[in-house]
Amino acid sequence: MNPRIALLGTVLASLAIMLSACGSSSDTGIATAPGNPDQPATGTLRVFAYEDSVTPEMMDPFRQQNPELDVKIATFDSNSEAAAKMAGGFQADVVEVCLDEADSLTGRNLLRPVDSAGVNAWDQLALTGSADLEFEGGGLFAPLSAGPLGVIYNTEEVPEGIDSYADLYDPEFAGRASLSGDYALPPIAVTALSLGIEDPMNMTKEELDQVSEYMMENRDQFRSLSRSDSDLVNLFKTGEVVVADANTAVAQRMREAGVPIEWVEPAEGAISWVCGFGIGSKAENTDAAYRLINWQASPEAQAIRGKNGYVVTNPAALERIPQRYQATSDPAALKSAIPMSNPPNFDQWERSFQSFQAG
């Protein structure tokens, strides 16, 4: 079994355990697909998602397709924030789920698996073909976008280019490199891959210690630990940083800002976040939930994501995406990607990263 895809099974296994302990106030069984997923929805649909998934550009066509549906939208900044609010009673029919954060939702019985029969494009979507993603005829969520974390470089300052995570640790770029710093998983996984550790999401304690020691020894390599996309864009615009790890959406923002940037899939294989729409365990309008999932998985909606710099999961969207964005939105990039999932010893990752941040 491919360990990179098998990582997807970790969260699903926890969901299987969760089903045996569901409470009377919520339902964690698979959400039954509507008889006709294409029928316009009615009633009220409550959507809880990241802001960029529910912009007017993404949602207005859906509203037009379902004129008798009252769509109520709320946004969050992380799945842990969403889980805290939902556990406190916040109602959501549709919830955006990211694989590396999903434990915060599944651990509190806040999701129902999606029935593949209710999603028209299920068999075409990237990652759903894996048996490890499937769950009793469905999946934890319908994957809708991804963000492979590759390497970027300023083509004027680094004309020879870079092509690996290991290059971020090259002494040539000491003091001019940046590493993701918003939370522990990306920088530690990137460093593990740069050291030749092939399965970074399932490192042993000895491997994690090796990575932590290497990071501490090379702390001065990095001008910055970027905490946001805006941070990284500004660092490249000022010339303080010339190489970094970043996703395709950030590279696109830099190009639009006039920064000469090239994004490259690293030789070690890119780690990638994977997000999509799931169904809340207390969902009251599952028919409308499936209707929204189908819109978000459609070539039309996926093309909007592609133009915004994300890797799409429906390959049928590519022909609708302008040529200049097709390379960075092609789901073929996910075939060799390593999906980011919550490591079983993540508390140790967090402690290691805190020490690295402190210097």
Shortest CA distance to 53 belongs to which of 305, 261, 328? 305
Place 337 in a pLDDT band, splitting at 50, 70 and 90.
confident
User: Which of 17-31, 108-122, 181-195 is least confident?
Assistant: 17-31
In 298-339, where does DSSP find H-type helix? 299-307, 323-329
- Crossing angle (nearest 10°) for helices 205-217 and 185-194: 90
Domains 3-146+272-339 and 149-269 share a fold: yes
Q: 13: which residues sit within 8 A by CB, 6+ positions away? A: none
pLDDT at 8: 43
Helix (H) or strand (E) segment spanning residue 69: strand 69-75
pLDDT digits (tens, 9 = 90+) for 274-283: 999 999 999 9
Alpha-carbon torsion, ordered 152, 154, 160, 163, to 10 deg: 0
Q: Nearest 5°: CA angle at 307, between 303 and 312? A: 50
DSSP per-residue string spanning 272-303: EEEEEEEEETT-S-HHHHHHHHHHHHSHHHHH
Please tell me the predicted confidence (pLDDT) of residue 129. 64
**DSSP character at residue 177:** E
Domain boundaries, the chain: 3-146+272-339, 149-269
Task: Could you please state the CATH topology (level 3) that the domain comprising 3-146+272-339 is classified under.
Answer: D-Maltodextrin-Binding Protein; domain 2 (3.40.190)
Q: Please tell me the distance from the alpha carbon of residue 61 to that of residue 300, in angstroms, as a whole number.
A: 10
- Is residue 71 pLDDT above 80, yes or no? yes
pTM of model > 0.85: no
pLDDT score of 142 more than 70: yes
Nearest of 279, 300, 292 to residue 41 by alpha carbon: 292
Average pLDDT over residues 227-240: 93
For residue 167, the tally of other CB atoms under 10 A from its CB is 20
Span 29-39, pLDDT tens digits: 899 999 998 89
Q: What CATH number has the domain spanning 149-269? A: 3.40.190.10
